[in-house]
Amino acid sequence: MIKPQGIIAAMSTPFFTDETLNEAELRHQVDRLIGAGLHGIFALGTNGENYAMDFAEKVKVMEIVIDQAAKRVPIYIGTGCVTTKETVALTKKACELGADCASVVSPWFAANTQDGLYEHYKAVAECSNLPVLIYNMPARTGVNVHYKTMQKLAQIDNIVGVKDSSGNFDNMQRYLESCGDRVSVLSGNDSLILPCLLAGGHGGISGISNVLPERMVRIYTAWEEGNLEEAWKVQRSIRPLRDCMAAGNPNSVVKRAAYFVGQNLGPVRAPFDIRDEQFDASIKAALAVIESND
């Protein structure tokens, strides 16, 4: 059973200007991220714009990513959908295609209960033998996976971890205290990767890896080597770009920032794309500060 750990890229999905999939660029990004030393790739997550794709498009993306990675690193596929039925179907497809793990975000839009979350995740875990990583993102889903719910879920054999994107460090600590010996706990917030590791966690799933992959890997490498001064220096160095996230959809920040470092990820699907001179200027300024402090 896979043990999620290290720095895993929350990979963006490249599109052409007409919003169709750019397969050649998707394959290039898989090679780029693996070449940068990342410990895994998470496709079809929030940065991958899974919320803006239909079932067939998601299957196409997972086919390409799994094929291109060719078992060089573990591939995590975002299979979370609004309903249990569709999540189960997509998870089974990911298993069939050879994914290493399904990352399942909580159902969104409609209000849910902790019992509802437990039954949803239990059904997804039991639909195949694919390892499952719980994806907690209350700002987008409207519900936080309570640590007691996570404690129960951790008893299911193929639930192997939780990605906590709550941005609440105490929430992450609760996961670590209640079930960190049974499952991996990873930060879904780039700013909390090192704190997660220092608290006993296992790494992070990083959107900024689309922009600065080698830098994000350095956080983990320095921590692993016991060089906490360097680890903190690198962790803190990304703050200027993290601050840009408040300007709008973080996916747009990531794709525009990637563009300014030479990557052709294309637009975010409408209506979430941001193209604005002031927006671009703030991202360029952030990248300049990061480079100057290296």
* CB 10 within 8 Å of CB 206: yes
Total residues belonging to the chain: 294
3-state secondary structure of 163: strand
d(CA 112, CA 127): 21
Which entry of 121, 135, 147, 220 is annotated as an active-site residue?
135
- Burial of 117 per CB tally in 10 Å (0-12, 13-18, 19+): buried
122 counts as catalytic: no
Residues paired with 41 in a beta bridge: 9, 75
Phi-psi region of 216 (alpha: psi -120 to 50; beta: other; left: phi over 0): alpha
Q: Which residues lie below 8 Å from residue 127, measured CB to CB, with a gap of 6+? A: 88, 91, 92
3-state secondary structure of 119: helix
Phi-psi region of 202 (alpha: psi -120 to 50; beta: other; left: phi over 0): alpha
Phi and psi torsions of 136, nearest 5°? -100, 115
* CB 286 within 8 Å of CB 243: yes
7: which 2 tokens? 């720095």
d(CA 25, CA 28): 5
Sign of CA dihedral 128, 160, 30, 19: positive
- Specify the DSSP element, H or E, that contains 46: none
Which entry of 163, 175, 220, 255 is annotated as an active-site residue?
163
3 counts as catalytic: no
Q: Which has the closest alpha carbon to 32: 185, 268, 258, 236?
A: 258
Active-site residue set = 135, 163
